[in-house]
Amino acid sequence: MAHHIVTLPGDGIGPEIMAPAVELLAKLGDFELEEHPFGGASIDMHGTALTDETLQACKAADAVLLAAVGGPKWDTTDPAKPRPEQGLLGLRKGLGLYANLRPVRPLPALYDASPLRRERIEGTDLLVVRELTGGIYFGEKTRTADAASDLCEYTVEEIERIARTAFQAARSKVCSVDKANVLETSRLWREVVTNLHAREFPHVELEHVLVDNAAMQLVSSPRHFDVIVTENMFGDILSDEAAMITGSIGMLPSASLGGDGPGLFEPVHGSAPDIAGQGIANPLAMFLSVALMLRHGLGLESEAAAVESAVDRALAAGLRTPDLGGEAGTAQAAQTVFAHLE
């Protein structure tokens, strides 16, 4: 049976990069696609960033592919007005997405676009697995005139499920990042990860690293990492730090996975209103998000690898969109990648 995918083009450059992604899927196999308005586009049509109908459609799909949302048209400080990002939060919550996966794999053709020296980043191929629904971002908040607090809480179950995602994604090694020398939640984190490792994944190497040390190692020897697993706030910061290794935001895909339901796959970048409508958006992060969807969402590893290698080879052959210092527009970039698909 054909895999059923809900596509959410969203706003700004979103529809411009979703169109070639849909074309790419058509070249790879038989996929049943269902498009829904989302974010600002949905606010314009229905007054809300995520309708019940769209959420139900996403829940019933095998995977959800999102481009980007947001833009100046919907920017507002009025809390009563709907905002595009509410769609993202609603979707994450509605689909129970607790794991955010961000691969960082600088492509050889773009080594010199990185702020780090080529010899530092050569061969880097790591995955940051961030816990997405717990920790200090979601704990109780208090505020008085002269003090404030944010509670950081984790349960054994929350830690176990994110650690399992990380061990399953690892090829050789998991680096669990915490602050166990000072935080009680980190001491529980370390204990739970250690126990799960012994019980279910003894064949994977496990290492515990303090977050300050991990931040240093990410820039001094990124090659050293395979999978990094960490809690919500550490993951937020480390995944952005790791992203800089690749040098361009137009290249980074991400996946958010939940329990039994579909995963959500999207580029890390936003809707780029400054270049929307010009036909120059880089579609590669979107293509690499399709690859993540094929691999982690639909179990189609060889199709995923085919997309990644077509992107690699297109870049090696000289493809550069304006954000990478070249002149190829979105359509030309897409055609170049298609020409390298095997």
Residue pair 32/2 in contact (Cβ under 8 Å)? The answer is yes
Q: Does 82 bind ligand NAD (CB under 6 A)?
A: no
Three-state SS at 69: coil
Active site residue 137: yes
Dist. CA 255–CA 128, nearest whole Å: 11
Q: How far is the CB of 210 from ligand NAD (least distance, A)?
A: 29
Structure tokens given for 333: 């970039």
Q: Which entry of 137, 150, 173, 312 is annotated as an active-site residue?
A: 137
Helix, strand, coil abundance in the chain, percent, nearest 5: 45, 20, 35
Task: State which of residues 9, 20, 37, 71 lies at the interface with ligand NAD (CB under 6 A).
Answer: 71
Report d(CA 261, CA 27) in Å as an integer. 26
In the annotation, is 212 catalytic? yes
For ligand NAD, which stretch binds (CB under 6 A), given 221-229, 272-280, 289-297, 303-311?
A: 272-280
CB of 180 to ligand NAD, least distance (A): 31
| Residue 101 exposed, middle or buried by CB count within 10 Å (0-12, 13-18, 19+) | buried
Is 226 catalytic? The answer is no
Residues in the chain: 342
Would you count residue 70 as binding ligand NAD (CB under 6 A)? yes
Q: How far apart are CA 230 and CA 162, in angstroms?
A: 8
Selected from 250, 261, 297, 329, the binder of ligand NAD by CB under 6 A is: 250
Q: Which of 282, 306, 311, 334 binds ligand NAD (CB under 6 A)?
A: 282
Identity of the residue, 266 or 303, whose beta carbon is nearer to ligand NAD in the bound complex: 266
Structure tokens at 160: 């176990």
Distance CA 69, CA 12 (A): 7
Which of 94, 139, 273, 326 is in the footprint of ligand NAD by CB under 6 A?
273
Residue 240 designated active-site: yes
281: contact with ligand NAD by CB under 6 A: yes
Q: Is 16 in the site for ligand NAD (CB under 6 A)?
A: no
236 is an active site residue: yes
What's the rounded Cα separation, in Å, for the pair 166 and 173?
10
Q: Which residues are catalytic?
A: 137, 179, 212, 236, 240
The residues that touch ligand NAD, with contacts defined as CB under 6 A, are 13, 68-71, 85, 88, 249-250, 266, 269-275, 281-282, 285, 323
